[in-house]
Amino acid sequence: MIRYVKAPPTTWVMQFSNGRARRAGAGLSFFYWGPTTTLVQVPLNSADVPFCFAEVTADFQTVTVQGQLTWRVVEPEKVSALLDFAVSPSGAWVSDDPKKLEERLVHAAQILTRASTGRWSLKEALTQGEALSTDVLAGLRKAEAVRMLGVEVLALSILSVRSTPEMARALEAEAREELQRKSDVAMYERRNASVEQERRIKESELQTEVMVEQQRRHIRETKMAADIAMERSRAELIEQQVANDNQAADSKAYALEATLAPVRTLDWKVLSALSSGGLDPAGNIALAFRELAENASKIGELNVSPDLLRALLPAGAPTKGR
């Protein structure tokens, strides 16, 4: 019987008749003779395959990797040659081979994931989701098994990497302890910084006080030096004044000595006469009496008349008789 098939643009169709390929292409529509024709349909659109499998890390801890793989067929001839994509007249696949394609892709992704997680410790595996996704995707694009299927891997996303519940609790406890330790260290460092800052402030205050005392001492020393210089200048002034006075006295003494030198050889009588401007009678009588007094030991008796004594008295002086 004659049948009709019409494929969408995202489906690649191949017609076999009597063991030979009659036509092949995407989005074909044609009539065919049903009893002797076999149709193969390979979807060309992209598809998403979720996966979830458990792997072991380098420290022998189990992790569960969950993700999604996006792929599409780029060479339908290759995949149709390896797997049976034949469809019945109703359009359903006649075998389970199309599902095996996804299984093979997931198996390839699991092998690459095992190789990556086997190099990491548990803590590294739990935090290396992006690196794991990059490594597995690059490995799938280079895998020979994937190229033989004519499939292109478009993307691979790692949704989560989880440890067992017991290990998760242990890691949470360890993380809490680590955070608490960091908190204690931060508190200690903050207190230490506060003490250090206070020490610096005290040192600065002490240095300020030392500088102030040094400045005060410098001021006192400056004043003392000024006083010493003033006293020294004053002492020098006094010494100079004494020297000047001594020099003046020496000058006066020299002048007086020079003045008195000619007079020293003169008799006192002559000096008395010269100092009085010449001897008057009373002076001569007084001089005579002085000479008598000097030679008193040689005089036996001396009589002085009242008239002589009266003549010696100043004029107008009262006289008393004996």
Question: Where exactly are the structural domains of the chain?
Answer: 47-73+97-163
DSSP per-residue string spanning 70-96 = EEEES-HHHHHHHS--EE-TTS-BSSS
Asked if residues 53 and 22 have their Cβ atoms less than 8 Å apart, the reply is no
Q: 95-99, 161-165, 258-262, 297-301 — which is least confidently predicted?
A: 297-301
Q: 55-59, 60-64, 162-166, 281-285 — which is least confidently predicted?
A: 281-285
pLDDT tens-digit profile of 118-138? 999 988 888 888 999 999 999
| 3-state secondary structure at position 64 | strand
Distance between CA atoms of residues 3 and 31, nearest Å: 6
For residues 34 and 289, which has the higher predicted lDDT (pLDDT)?
34
Distinct helix (H) and strand (E) counts, the chain: 9, 9
Average pLDDT of the residues in 77-104: 90
Asked if residues 34 and 1 have their Cβ atoms less than 8 Å apart, the reply is yes
Of 79, 10, 68, 71, nearest to 46 by C-alpha is 71
CATH architecture entry for 47-73+97-163: 2-Layer Sandwich (3.30)
Q: 142-146, 248-252, 275-279 — which is least confidently predicted?
A: 275-279
pLDDT band at 322 (very low <50, low <70, confident <90, very high): very low
What b-and-e string marks burial along 150-182, b requiring 16 or more CB atoms within 10 Å of the CB? bbbbeebebeebebeeeeeeeeeeeeeeeeeee
DSSP per-residue string spanning 89-112 = TTS-BSSSHHHHHHHHHHHHHHHH
Asked if residues 159 and 153 have their Cβ atoms less than 8 Å apart, the reply is no
For residues 274 and 165, which has the higher predicted lDDT (pLDDT)?
165
- Give, as one character, the DSSP assignment of residue 269: H
Using the predicted structure, report yes or no on whether residue 276 has a pLDDT greater than 80. Answer: no
